[in-house]
Amino acid sequence: MIPGETHTRNLKLIVEYDGTDFAGYQTQRQGLRTVQTVLGEAVGEIMAHPVLLQAAGRTDTGVHALGQVVSFRTTSAVPTQRLAIALNGKLPRDVAVAAAEEVDDEFHARFSAKSRTYGYLVWTRRTRSAIWGRYSLHVRRPLDVNRMRAEGAALVGTHDFAAYAKMGGSPGPSTVRRLERLSIRRLSEGRVLFVLTANGFLRAMVRNIVGALIDVGKGRIDPGTLAMILNGMDRDANPCAPAPAHGLCLLRVDY
Amino acid sequence: MIPGETHTRNLKLIVEYDGTDFAGYQTQRQGLRTVQTVLGEAVGEIMAHPVLLQAAGRTDTGVHALGQVVSFRTTSAVPTQRLAIALNGKLPRDVAVAAAEEVDDEFHARFSAKSRTYGYLVWTRRTRSAIWGRYSLHVRRPLDVNRMRAEGAALVGTHDFAAYAKMGGSPGPSTVRRLERLSIRRLSEGRVLFVLTANGFLRAMVRNIVGALIDVGKGRIDPGTLAMILNGMDRDANPCAPAPAHGLCLLRVDY
């Protein structure tokens, strides 16, 4: 570092949030409470200059995160090892920084990401839960996990997922994604956990896939329907509703 | 049942709630949101007459429940097997009825209870969590579970727990209680779960015991202090702060 030159560091944060009271991750019009706005204010205050936050996943309204990754550049000399605790002191209860580290200058939370992993939690029991209902979808009857696994297998691999994207969204140049993993596990107490890993997800793609799988698990749609929807590549042809946001959580991002 | 006579049923509900946005279970002055008020309104609406709810545990502000028990008498003919789902349709998201059943005429949720079981969850990790922080106390360093178990053993049994009750509270005719179980278990990811069962608890007794145990686990107080506090029987002599409400949950009530 040349004396007198301003040293710029590139920092990476692992961020958790309870999405219930947020209008999603990304800053939108004024007055909406978003994670980016709340986190950006805290980071700007600690760094003593405005910052531009880059995030790995632009989660929708109501979606939670245990492993969102955010990066930003700063000229501040605040020690990295004290950053997480300093930020948590400023942040509201429903956002927290789990870890902070300095990364290479080339690192970009969004563009450097190799894969994202989302979890979707379903709770099957007769009555809804006042506590677990915040982080899981309540389904009244048991789901046929084996049937969901068999049908879901058709989605794993590289496909055009346009039929599983949000209608009316602007998906960017390509709707082809590589779904690397789709695991469906039965946990204790009637819980079913879906874990999906892909190089990237289209808008609402996880919720559309899980919504269709739940219809499979309930026996509502015929075998082969998921592959048919995929091959139709037309969102309007998908008869399954997306699973609601509150069961979804961004678990981790790999680089 | 004699024709023309009004048949009165005695009903028992298992109730869950997220205590975060409630000023405790019991109805207090007007304008405070309590579980009893919210639940009483829903039950009254479904039963089409006002009801008097009896609850096993009058949990404080911020305390959660997975197994609160509430009983009430009704002349309504609403079928018991439909009651839980009908009530859940009326109740806000943070309260739910897990089960409803008809019980003997003598049953009283509070006076018939033989024991209450509370859980207290502590999360030990360097940074706080935005999601688990809602239902657990964040402690920055690991706790010495063996030391807590050894010290806690002095509290099990029948004792005058006045020194572990809330200062200034009116404890009723006796402050003697039988603590039947005090288990402390290490769970995954740095979580420590305290489970306490007693024939009854004084106001804030679980939080005072757990607060003192956490001081033991941190190495802040000398061996023998918990027994000394107990034998002093004077709340003012207890140097340990009660553990905060949000880590506490009424797990079950046995009859």
Q: Which two tokens stand for residue B122?
A: 């502590």
Which residues fall within 8 angstroms of residue A153, CB to CB, at 6 or more apart? A182
| Chain A interface, best mutation among B128, B137, B248, B250, by max A CB count within 10 A | B128
Q: Cα(B151)–Cα(B209) distance, rounded to whole angstroms?
A: 11
> Are B207 and B242 a contacting pair, CB within 8 Å?
yes
Using the 8-state DSSP alphabet, how is residue A61 labeled? T
Positive or negative, the CA dihedral B85, B89, B91, B94 is: positive
pLDDT tens digits, B25-62: 999 888 899 999 999 999 999 999 999 999 999 999 99
Q: Please, which residues 56-75 of chain A have a Cβ atom closer than 8 Å to chain B?
A: 64, 66
Which residue, chain included where needed, has tokens 């063996």? B146
pLDDT more than 70, % of chain A: 94
A170 membership: H or E segment, kind and range: none
Instruction: Calculate mean pLDDT across residues A2-18.
Output: 84
With CB atoms and an 8 Å threshold, state whether B96 touches A18.
Answer: no
With CB atoms and an 8 Å threshold, state whether A18 touches B130.
Answer: yes
Set of chain A residues whose Cβ sits within 8 Å of the Cβ of B130: 16-18, 93-96
> Are B96 and B88 a contacting pair, CB within 8 Å?
yes
Using the 8-state DSSP alphabet, how is residue A38 labeled? H
Set of chain A residues whose Cβ sits within 8 Å of the Cβ of B97: 127
Set of chain A residues whose Cβ sits within 8 Å of the Cβ of B246: none
The phi, psi pair for B101, rounded to 5°, reads -150, 155
Q: Which two tokens stand for residue B3?
A: 């024709």
With CB atoms and an 8 Å threshold, state whether A130 touches B84.
Answer: no
For the cut 60, the answer to whether the pLDDT of residue B4 exceeds it is no
| A31 — pLDDT class (breaks 50, 70, 90) | confident
Q: Which of A17, A85, A126 sits opposite B127 (nearest CB)?
A: A85
Instruction: Calculate mean pLDDT across residues A208-212.
Output: 97
| Chain B interface, best mutation among A15, A66, A127, A138, by max B CB count within 10 A | A127
Q: Which of A17, A131, A134 sits opposite B130 (nearest CB)?
A: A17
Longest dimension (CA), chain A: 69
pLDDT of A133: 92
pLDDT of B3: 54
pLDDT of B170: 59
pLDDT tens digits, A57-107: 999 999 999 999 999 999 999 999 999 999 999 999 999 999 999 999 999
Q: Which two tokens stand for residue B220?
A: 């802040």
For the cut 50, the answer to whether the pLDDT of residue A136 exceeds it is yes
Question: Is some CB atom of chain B closer than 8 A to the CB atom of A131?
Answer: yes
- Rg of chain B in Å (alpha carbons): 20
DSSP string, A174-226: --EEEEEEEEEEE-GGGEEEEEEEES---TTHHHHHHHHHHHHHTT-S-TTHH
Q: What is the residue-averaged pLDDT of chain B?
A: 93
Give the type of residue at B56.
A
**Chain pair A-B, CB pairs under 8 angstroms:** 63
Q: Which two tokens stand for residue B196?
A: 């306490």
Domains, chain A, ordered by start? 9-103 (3.30.70.580), 115-254 (3.30.70.660)
pLDDT of B1: 47
Query: Nearest Cα to A216, choosing from A228, A232, A203?
Result: A228
Instruction: Calculate mean pLDDT across residues B201-220.
Output: 96
Instruction: Calculate mean pLDDT across residues B236-243.
Output: 84
Expressed in angstroms, the distance from the first to the final Cα of chain A is 27
Q: Which two tokens stand for residue A104?
A: 């290479």
pLDDT tens digits, B150-174: 999 999 999 999 999 976 555 567 9
- Number of alpha carbons in the 13 Å side-chain half-sphere of residue A231: 6
pLDDT of A170: 59
User: 3-state SS of chain B?
Assistant: CCCCCCCCEEEEEEEEECHHHCCCCCCCCCCCCCHHHHHHHHHHHHHCCCCCCEECCCCCCCCEEEEEEEEEEECCCCCHHHHHHHHHHHCCCCEEEEEEEEECCCCCCCCCCCEEEEEEEEEECCCCCCCHHHCCEEECCCCCHHHHHHHHHHHCEEEECHHHCCCCCCCCCCCEEEEEEEEEEECHHHEEEEEEEECCCCCCHHHHHHHHHHHHHCCCCCCCHHHHHHHHCCHHHCCCCCCCHHHEEEEEEEC
Residue B84, burial from CB neighbour count under 10 angstroms (0-12, 13-18, 19+):
buried
Set of chain B residues whose Cβ sits within 8 Å of the Cβ of A98: 127, 129
Positive or negative, the CA dihedral B166, B169, B171, B175 is: positive
Question: Is some CB atom of chain B closer than 8 A to the CB atom of A97?
Answer: yes
Set of chain B residues whose Cβ sits within 8 Å of the Cβ of A134: 18, 93, 134
Positive or negative, the CA dihedral B144, B150, B151, B153 is: positive
Give the type of residue at B210.
V
pLDDT of A75: 94
DSSP string, A99-165: EEEEE-TT--TTTT--EEEEEEEEEESSS--TTGGGTSEEESS---HHHHHHHHGGG-EEEE-GGGS
Is this prediction's pTM over 0.95? no
In chain A, count of helices (H) and strands (E)? 5, 10
Q: Which residues of A are catalytic?
A: 60
Query: Nearest Cα to B68, choosing from B19, B122, B31, B121?
Result: B19
Instruction: Calculate mean pLDDT across residues B118-140.
Output: 95
